[in-house]
Each structure stands twice: as structure tokens, then as C-alpha cells.
Amino acid sequence: MAEMTIKKRPKNLDLTTIRLPLPGKVSILHRVSGAGLFLCFPLLLWLFSASLNSAETFAVFKGVFSTLPAKVILAGLIWAYIHHFCAGIRFLLLDLHVGIEKEAARKSAAVVFAVSIPLTLIFWGVLL
């Protein structure tokens, strides 16, 4: 039997030294934001339920927005939704082969942050 020679390729999986390009950052944050939203569904559905149930639970729902821990969590979730939305539209365009060249892809990744971060700040201002 012939000896299989496995070529040693340079491999770096050390998360502390990996420096992702901008599209890589958009991509991993897309995953992180999606996972965060999933984990917080019980909270979000509970809030949605309270807001619609009765005038009393609506007051509870509004009260939640004025506590600091809730504000921090909701601030994170608002960012997560907006980032996931903006990055998702970019991925749909890439699927349609729009902007798949390296330069265009880097530019559209920058656009995702340029849109999602100010939009997040606006929603924080309005909702929190």
C-alpha cells in the first residue's frame, strides 16, 4: 500500500491572533446576532404578550424599559436585529452575484456597518 503523505499546511485557529477582514467581521457578527436573538426569544415573546394582554400588563411592559438591566439587554437585541437585517440583505445580494469581487465585497461590508451602527443609535434614542 502506498504511503499517504499529508501535506502540512499553515493553520491558525487561535482566536486571539486571527484578524478578520471586514466581510469576515460582518459574517461572524451575523451569526452572533442571530444566536443572541434566538436565546432571547422567551424574553421577547413575554414582552410582546405583556404589551398586548391588558392595560395592567402593558404598564408592566412599559416599566421594563425603564430598568437598567433590561435596557442593556434590549440595547443589545436592537443592535442584533438591525445588524442581522443589514448583513442579511448584503448576503442576499451576494447570492445574486451582486458585488462578489473582493473590492466590492469589502465596500459593501463597510456599508453594512455604516448603516447598521447609526440606525442602532437612532433606535436606542427612540425606544430606550
Partner 1 sequence: MINRNVVGAHYGLKDWIAQRATAIIMALYTVIMGAVLLIVQPSTFEAWRGVFANGFIKFVTFIFFVSLFYHVWIGVRDIWMDYVKPTGLRLTLHVLTIAALVGYTAWAAAILWRL
CA 39 to chain centre: 13
Q: Is 99 left (phi over 0), alpha (psi -120 to 50) or beta?
A: left
Pick the binder of partner 1 from 35, 98, 114, 122 (CB under 8 A).
35
Pick the binder of partner 1 from 20, 52, 60, 110 (CB under 8 A).
52
Pick the binder of partner 1 from 20, 28, 45, 60 (CB under 8 A).
45
Query: Judged by CB, which is closer to partner 1: 4, or 126?
Result: 126
Q: Does 28 bind partner 1 (CB under 8 A)?
A: no
Kindly compute the dihedral angle of the four CA atoms of residues 11, 14, 15, 19, in this order, to the nearest 10 degrees. -50
AA letter at 92: L
Query: Judged by CB, which is closer to partner 1: 4, or 96?
Result: 96
- Interface size with partner 1, residues (CB under 8 A): 22
* Euclidean distance between CA atoms 74 and 77, whole angstroms: 5
Half-sphere exposure of 31 (CA within 13 A, CB side): 5
Q: What are the residues binding partner 1 (CB under 8 A)?
A: 31, 34-35, 37-38, 41-42, 45, 48-49, 51-55, 58-59, 85, 88-89, 92, 95
